[in-house]
């Protein structure tokens, strides 16, 4: 294999080259960026993001980032735009055009059409003196000295710079909007990420049995309750209040000490200060409580501090929280 010994070195050089280019982007941020963000923030319309070639691929990612952080955005391919898709652009929309050279034929045709509609144009380009750079209302400079490609041809460093500029716009906008983790959860309800943001203890408890015994119940009854409810634990309650907890570990430790269990009742072996969590707490809070206390189950209480149920570590694993 030709130059196989240089693979690691080439990979490192690529990462270093791109990281240097990204670092230099900070020096290119100016009033154009600030005004672009303010205009998007004040706009009553959407953000239409367009490009061609690899820049179009970057545009789709920036659209996804905008939408997931509270800024409505739509992708429009520059080539398709001049063949009918320009109808996607509404009166109050702001258009972001992405192009390294800023001089591609499609961009030269598209920009005047958008301006005729009266929409603001934000350019993300590596050439601020290009057609796009000079005709945009706000020009964001993503100049890179060269591509990571050894032939300085394949879009690598330049597309990474475009992507980072898009991230910078999205982050500044979400800061202005006061976009919180709760807002983020609205747009990410699926998967483990969404569940970490919206799933509550109550959602987990409702799927489980509710093991409980009275303080004077026999050990035989305790064992049956733990076994049947299959959570490895039972609460010991008195007038709906938790006064203790018994785990399957407590049962094993008791049997190691004695087999004379006929006179032993629940209160004799229960733990008297069990950890609890409110049913409205977030599921991730339950996970933190389990980890911090090195336990696998935690008892759940309601607004009146009455016993409500049990959350097991397995519940969190099943939901992808752990």
Strands 297-301 and 138-141: unpaired
Query: Given the structure tokens 């389990």, which residue do they identify?
Result: 290
Residue 79 corresponds to which tokens in the numbers above?
A: 């080539």
CA distance 5 to 273: 62
SS3 call for 255: helix
Nearest to 37 by CA among 165, 180, 144: 165
Is 83 flagged in the annotation as binding?
no
Contacts of 54 (CB under 8 A, 6+ apart): 155, 159
Q: What secondary structure, in 3-state letters, does 80-93 show?
A: HHCCCHHHHCCCCC
- Asked if 233 and 254 count as a contact pair (C-beta separation under 8 A), the reply is no
- Rounded to 5 degrees, what are φ and ψ at 209? -70, 165
Helices marked H in the chain — which ranges?
7-25, 31-42, 54-68, 78-81, 105-117, 131-135, 157-177, 181-187, 191-198, 201-205, 219-229, 248-257, 266-269, 283-293, 313-318
Annotated binding-site members: 77
Annotated binding-site members for Zn(2+): 77
């Amino acid at each position: 294999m030709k130059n196989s010994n240089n693979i690691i070195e080439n990979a490192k050089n690529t990462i270093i080259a791109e990281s240097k280019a990204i670092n230099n982007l900070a020096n290119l941020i100016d009033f154009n960026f600030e005004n672009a963000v303010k205009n998007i923030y004040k706009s009553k319309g959407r953000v239409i993001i367009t490009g061609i070639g690899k820049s179009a691929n970057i545009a789709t990612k920036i659209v996804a980032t905008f939408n997931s952080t509270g800024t409505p955005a739509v992708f429009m391919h520059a080539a398709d735009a001049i063949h009918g898709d320009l109808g996607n652009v509404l009166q109050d929309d702001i258009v972001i055009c992405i192009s390294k050279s800023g001089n591609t034929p499609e961009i030269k045709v598209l920009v005047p059409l958008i301006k005729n509609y009266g929409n603001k144009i934000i350019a993300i380009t590596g050439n601020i003196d290009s057609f796009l750079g000079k005709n945009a209302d706000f020009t964001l400079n993503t100049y890179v000295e060269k591509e990571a490609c050894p032939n300085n041809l394949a879009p690598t460093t330049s597309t990474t710079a475009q992507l980072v500029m898009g991230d910078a716009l999205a982050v500044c906008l979400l800061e202005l909007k006061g976009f919180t983790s709760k807002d983020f959860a609205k747009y990410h309800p699926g998967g483990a990420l969404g569940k970490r943001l919206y799933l509550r203890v109550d959602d987990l408890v409702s799927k489980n049995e509710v093991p409980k015994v009275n303080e004077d119940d026999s050990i035989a009854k305790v064992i049956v309750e733990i076994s049947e409810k299959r959570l490895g634990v039972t609460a010991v309650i008195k007038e709906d209040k938790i006064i203790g907890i018994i785990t399957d570990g407590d049962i094993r430790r008791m049997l190691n000490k004695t087999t004379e269990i006929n006179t032993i009742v629940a209160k004799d072996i229960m733990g008297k200060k069990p950890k609890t969590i409110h049913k409205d707490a977030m599921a991730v809070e339950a996970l933190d409580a389990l980890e911090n206390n090195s336990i696998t189950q935690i008892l759940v209480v309601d607004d009146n501090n009455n016993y409500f149920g049990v959350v097991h570590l397995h519940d969190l694993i099943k939901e992808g929280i752990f």
